[in-house]
Amino acid sequence: MSLVAPVAATPAALTALTASIPSPSFNTIGPLRMYALMIICGVFAGVWLARRRWAARGGDPEDMVDIAFWAVPAGLIGARLYHVITDWKTYFGSAPDGTWNPVGALQVWNGGLGIPGGIIAGVAVGVWVAKRKGIRLPTGLDVVAPCLPLAQAIGRLGNWFNQEVFGRPTDLPWGLQIDPRFRPREYPDVATFHPTFLYELLWNLALMGALIWIDSKRALRPGRIFVLYIGGYGLGRLWVESLRSDNASLILGIRVNIWTSLLAIAGAVLFLLVGGLRRRPDDSDEPYADGHRYQPPSAAGDDEALAPGAVEGAVTDGALGDRRPDDDDDHADDRPDDDDDRPEALADGDGSSVAGADGAGSADAGPASG
């Protein structure tokens, strides 16, 4: 006699399980949670891309590292605050399991980062650091715009490992398998759900590629690539959020993140309408407010290398050290009109030199102006 009761399985359920995306069976590597690892990988990828794009604009790649040093922690704090504020009932109210869990608001490793809050806090601190470094803000924002969706795309894999923020039930071939203990209370017997983490991941990668392509055309005003990122991310989050099945705070019966997405889209459209989209003749893509460009150390030591924007043949301060071209001791002894460098003076019949009316033969006379 079998000790295991037979389980009835419908053809639809079997099809959903055989043609679906499995969830990982682990979410840690040693002491490190995969959620945290994916965020770290996303940060490194975003900074890597930002360094390359900033160098291509004539900026110092290390500027992006300095900005990330402050902006990333600020973004993480902002993302957590946004999550706790918009989902406060989970920690300070009637949670789904009926418990009071204020300590859970600090347990970021269990998931729960609101990307809108991360964007607001991270960009605000990043702008502050950029201004202190003399970076031209529209140019800097355009440089980092495609880097943000890249980091977000990689970070979304953390939701996959945590089996969280998935969508409603589906029997599509790409449905995501969710273990029973992670399923919503409304769907305890449903095995597959919309993989909203994957939808947002793919949307972010497509957004990154579109922003890089549009930016390469140099057809838009400085700063507009970042505005397109805000609007583009809001648009993607709008439809992805509408598929989510997890508990969320509502305003007028609509999820808070949907309202946030609508505000992002409306704000981006309004900004483009007021500020203009197409490039103007006086727009500048210079990396720094004072107009200088970064010269890599390897090029600085090459006599034949030119600093970006320099005129070929021009003498630079580095070539002269602390001296200026009009210092007397640099050229007083070898002026082109010195007596010892002149041709033999013409002589008259008495052998005396023929001098100009006002002593043009004087060794102190400077070169003639052209």
Extract the tokens encoding 363: 């060794």
At residue 296, the pLDDT reads 87
Beta-bridge partner residues of 220: 278
At residue 16, the pLDDT reads 47
Extract the tokens encoding 126: 């990043």
- d(Cα 83, Cα 118) in Å, to the nearest integer? 10
pTM: 0.75
At residue 96, the pLDDT reads 52
Q: Which segments of the chain have a pLDDT < 70? A: 1-18, 92-104, 109-111, 299-370
- d(Cα 330, Cα 43) in Å, to the nearest integer? 52
At residue 180, the pLDDT reads 94
At residue 85, the pLDDT reads 84
- d(Cα 208, Cα 326) in Å, to the nearest integer? 52
At residue 204, the pLDDT reads 98
At residue 70, the pLDDT reads 98
At residue 248, the pLDDT reads 81
What secondary structure letter does DSSP report for 58? Answer: T
58, 226, 230, 258 from 270: Cα distances, Å: 31, 14, 12, 18
Q: Are 200 and 239 in contact (CB under 8 A)?
A: no
